[in-house]
Amino acid sequence: MKAARIGDYNATPVIEDVPTPDIGPGEVLVRVKASSLNPLDVKMQRGFMHAYFPVIFPYTLGTDLAGTIEHTGSNVTRWREGDEVVARLDPTSGGALAEFAVVKTEYLVRAPKTVSLEEAAGISTAAGTAWQALFEVADLKRGQSVLVHAGAGGVGSFAIQFARSVGARVIATASGAGIEIARRLGADQVIDYRSENFAVKVTDVDVVIDTIGGDTQQRSFNVLRSGGYLLATSAPPDEALAKAHNVAATFVFHASDGSRLEKIVEAIDTSVLKVLVDRKMSLLNFTNAFEHQASGRARGKIIVTPD
Ligand SMILES: NC(=O)c1ccc[n+]([C@@H]2O[C@H](COP(=O)([O-])OP(=O)(O)OC[C@H]3O[C@@H](n4cnc5c(N)ncnc54)[C@H](OP(=O)(O)O)[C@@H]3O)[C@@H](O)[C@H]2O)c1
């Protein structure tokens, strides 16, 4: 099978022909319909995540996939060959950017009915992070307000839709074509972060999802109400600033969780939420897909298909 692999940190990913992996008890082999890229894949390739997710080389990149079960291992009772599934693999093992992937059953969920299997590959990490932040850490409720940075990014595009689906008011930051995209996803107000300072246009929000860090994070403390919540996914929040503004601030570290993913798929089907797709590319054109992810300019998910 073909797989996108690196032989060392900072090595250029190459598409190699490798043996189709074997499965063990409690695992299934998934024929990958599509995978999606995340900033995490770039950080893994650069070795930035070594302390959290140490890998063995050669390493097959990718955590997010959707596909069809090809074989089931022993002790697998809930799943059958042909089932359409979505999964988020453990980053240490990787393996999603390939024609076949081994998946532990605890990371498997049925694919949503309202989005195509290809687009469903874009769900796992981005939606999982947005969900974990909004509902498990901040406990966002109807009537509250949330500022979502990078509303046209992977995490932001799901955060806008999840927050709206529970009746929260959403303000998003974006630029260029991303402004209209964020509006169409349901943001009540979109601020062009390149030409306007969001920190003077927004006040007293309950929650900020900070996917950017740095100066964006520092200014985000000013827009929160006393007792509000800053949820950072890119850089750990400054505790002294949080204290000075009388807000809670947490770094959200996303972890693969099949039961969360199940709730997400249900929410996508029930509320007819979208997977925002930046582009679809073939695994054979992986270098371009990877470079685009690394640029930080993707507007939604980059979907990679093995054919
Ligand atoms: N801690 C965790 O477990 C975890 C999990 C998931 C993601 N993350 C991190 O969260 C961050 C976002 O992830 P992602 O998947 O959403 O990334 P992404 O999809 O690559 O985000 C790209 C988007 O960011 C926007 N952007 C860039 N600079 C901006 C700024 N200053 N203000 C507002 N928007 C800006 C871009 O818009 P323009 O085109 O307008 O520039 C683009 O649409 C990454 O750093 C990622 O590593 C962490």
Q: Are 83 and 43 in contact (CB under 8 A)?
A: no
AA identity, residue 177: A
pLDDT tens-digit profile of 139-170?
Answer: 999 999 999 999 999 999 999 999 999 999 99
* Nearest residue to 301 via CA among 59, 114, 40: 40
Query: Strand ranges (DSSP E) for the chain?
Result: 2-6, 14-17, 27-36, 59-60, 64-72, 84-88, 100-104, 108-110, 145-148, 169-174, 189-192, 205-210, 224-232, 248-251, 277-282, 301-305
Residue nearest to atom 13 of ligand 1 (CA): 155
Closest to 36 (Cα-Cα) out of 83, 107, 71, 86? 86
- Hey, which of 36, 38, 211 would you mutate to test ligand 1's pocket, going by the most ligand atoms within 8 Å of its Cβ? 211
Q: What is the pLDDT of residues 63-73, one digit of tens each?
A: 999 999 999 99
Q: Which two three-digit tokens encode residue 300?
A: 């939604």
Instruction: Output the average pLDDT for the chain.
Output: 98
Does the C-beta of 234 come closer than 6 Å to ligand 1?
A: yes
- Average pLDDT, integer, range 252-264: 96
Q: Is residue 137 within 8 Å of 252, Cβ to Cβ? A: yes
Whether the model clears a pTM of 0.75, i.e. scores above it, the answer is: yes
Q: What is the pLDDT of residues 164-186, one digit of tens each?
A: 999 999 999 999 999 999 999 99
205-210 vs 224-232, strand pairing mode: parallel
> What pLDDT score does 25 carry?
98
Give the distance (Å) from ligand 1 centre to CA of residue 199.
19
Averaged over 217-242, what is the pLDDT? 97
pLDDT in tens, 198-209: 999 999 999 999
| Domains of the chain with bracketed CATH | 2-123+275-305 (3.90.180.10), 125-251 (3.40.50.720)
What is the per-residue pLDDT across 34-65, written as a single tens digit (0 to 9) for each? 999 999 999 999 999 999 999 999 999 999 99
Q: From the CA of 237, how far away is ligand 1's center (Å)? A: 16
Helix (H) or strand (E) holding 41: helix 39-46
Question: Mean pLDDT, to the nearest integer, of 294-307?
Answer: 97
- Mean pLDDT of all residues in 87-114: 98
CB 148 within 8 A of CB 209: yes
3-state secondary structure of 177: helix
**CA separation for the pair 183, 206 (Å, rounded):** 20
Three-state DSSP at 134 gives: helix
Q: How far apart are CA 55 and CA 41, in angstroms?
A: 12
- Residue range 231-237: mean pLDDT, rounded: 98
Please report which confidence band the pLDDT of residue 258 belongs to, taking 50, 70 and 90 as the band edges.
very high
Ligand 1 site, residue 290, Cβ cutoff 6 A: no
Q: Is the pLDDT of residue 307 over 90?
A: no
Any atom of ligand 1 within 6 Å of the Cβ of 301: no
C-alpha span between 216 and 199 (Å, rounded) = 9
Q: Which atom of ligand 1 is nearest to the CA of 232?
A: 1
- Predicted confidence band of residue 135 (pLDDT cuts 50, 70, 90): very high
176 touches ligand 1 (CB under 6 Å):
yes
